[in-house]
Amino acid sequence: MELSYPFFEIFGLKLYFDDILIICLLFFLYKEEVHDEYLFTALILLLLS
C-alpha cells in the first residue's frame, strides 16, 4: 500500500494528511488568539512546500 496518497481532493487540489493537519493547527492557533507571527509564517511556508 502506498503511503503518499491524497487524503482529500477537491477541484484538482490534492490535500495530503499532513496538509490537513497543518490547516487544523493554523485554525486552532487562530481561534486561541495566539499572536506569534513567526509560527504562523513557518506553518504557512511548510504548507506551501
pLDDT digits (tens, 9 = 90+) for 16-26: 888 899 999 99
- pTM for the model stands at 0.77
Note the pLDDT of residue 44: 93
CA–CA dist 8, 20 (Å, integer): 9
For the chain, domain boundaries: 13-48
Note the pLDDT of residue 3: 63
pLDDT digits (tens, 9 = 90+) for 1-49: 456 778 878 888 888 888 899 999 999 999 999 999 999 999 999 988 8
Note the pLDDT of residue 2: 54
